[in-house]
Amino acid sequence: MENNENHNSNNFDINNSIINNFNFYELAKKHGFKEKNVKTILNKSKENRGVFLGDYSLNPYLGCSFDCKYCYINGSKYAGSTKSFYIKSNALNILKNQLKRKSKIGERGIILFGSATDPYIDIEKELFLTRDLLKITNRFRFPIHLVTKSDLVLRDIDLFKKINENGILPKDIEKLDSKVIITFSFSTLDEKVAKIFEPNAPNINRRLKAIKKLKDEEFLVGVSLMPLLPFISDSYESIDKIISIFSDIEVDYVFGGSLTLFGERDNDSKTKYYKILNENFPKFVEPTKNIFKEKEYPNISYQNNIYKNLENVCRKYNIKNSII
Binding window for ligand SF4 (CB under 6 A); candidates: 61-69, 154-162, 167-175, 257-265: 61-69
| Buried residues in 276-309 as b, exposed as e (16+ CB within 10 A) | ebeeebeebeeebeebbeeeebbeeebeebbeeb
Q: Is 82 in the site for ligand SF4 (CB under 6 A)?
A: yes
Q: In the complex with ligand SF4, which residue's Cβ is closer, 82 or 188? A: 82
Q: How far is the CB of 170 from ligand SF4 (least distance, A)?
A: 26
Q: In the complex with ligand SF4, which residue's Cβ is closer, 201 or 323? A: 201
Q: In the complex with ligand SF4, which residue's Cβ is closer, 45 or 76? A: 76
Q: How far is the CB of 43 from ligand SF4 (least distance, A)?
A: 16
In the set 62, 76, 118, 129, which binds ligand SF4 (CB under 6 A)? 118
Q: In the complex with ligand SF4, which residue's Cβ is closer, 99 or 211? A: 211
Q: In the complex with ligand SF4, which residue's Cβ is closer, 162 or 207? A: 207
Alpha carbon 260 to its chain's center: 16
Binding window for ligand SF4 (CB under 6 A); candidates: 68-76, 105-113, 243-251, 252-260: 68-76
Pairing of strands 56-58, 220-228: unpaired
Binding window for ligand SF4 (CB under 6 A); candidates: 14-22, 65-73, 92-100, 240-248: 65-73
Q: Which of 314, 198, 298 is nearest to 257 (CA)?
A: 298
Q: In the complex with ligand SF4, which residue's Cβ is closer, 99 or 225? A: 225
In the set 28, 58, 68, 291, which binds ligand SF4 (CB under 6 A)? 68
Q: How far apart are CA 305 and CA 314, in angstroms?
A: 14
Q: How far is the CB of 225 from ligand SF4 (least distance, A)?
A: 12
In the set 90, 115, 117, 188, which binds ligand SF4 (CB under 6 A)? 117
Q: Is 144 in the site for ligand SF4 (CB under 6 A)?
A: no
For the chain, the three-class secondary structure string (H helix, E strand, C coil) is CCCCCCCCCCCCCCCCCHHHHCCHHHHHHHHCCEEECCCCCCEECCCCCCCCCCCEEECCEECCCCCCCCCCCCCCCCCCCCCCCEEECCHHHHHHHHHHHHHHCCCCCCEEECCCCCCCCCCHHHHCHHHHHHHHHHHCCCCEEEEECCHHHHHHHHHHHHHHHHCCCCHHHHHHCCCEEEEEECCCCCHHHHHHHCCCCCCHHHHHHHHHHHHHCCCEEEEEEEEECCCCCCCHHHHHHHHHHHHHCCCCEEEEEECCCCCCCCCCHHHHHHHHHHHHCHHHHHHHHHHHCCCCCCCHHHHHHHHHHHHHHHHHHCCECCCC
In the set 64, 111, 123, 314, which binds ligand SF4 (CB under 6 A)? 64
Q: How far is the CB of 128 from ligand SF4 (least distance, A)?
A: 19
Binding window for ligand SF4 (CB under 6 A); candidates: 43-51, 67-75, 174-182, 277-285: 67-75
Q: How far is the CB of 237 from ligand SF4 (least distance, A)?
A: 24
Q: How far is the CB of 161 from ligand SF4 (least distance, A)?
A: 25
Q: Is 130 in the site for ligand SF4 (CB under 6 A)?
A: no
Please provide the distance, in angstroms rounded to a whole number, between the alpha carbons at the two ends of the chain: 32
**Footprint of ligand SF4 on 148-207 (CB under 6 A):** 149, 201
Q: Is 71 in the site for ligand SF4 (CB under 6 A)?
A: yes
> What are the residues binding ligand SF4 (CB under 6 A)?
64, 66-68, 71, 73, 82, 117-118, 149, 201
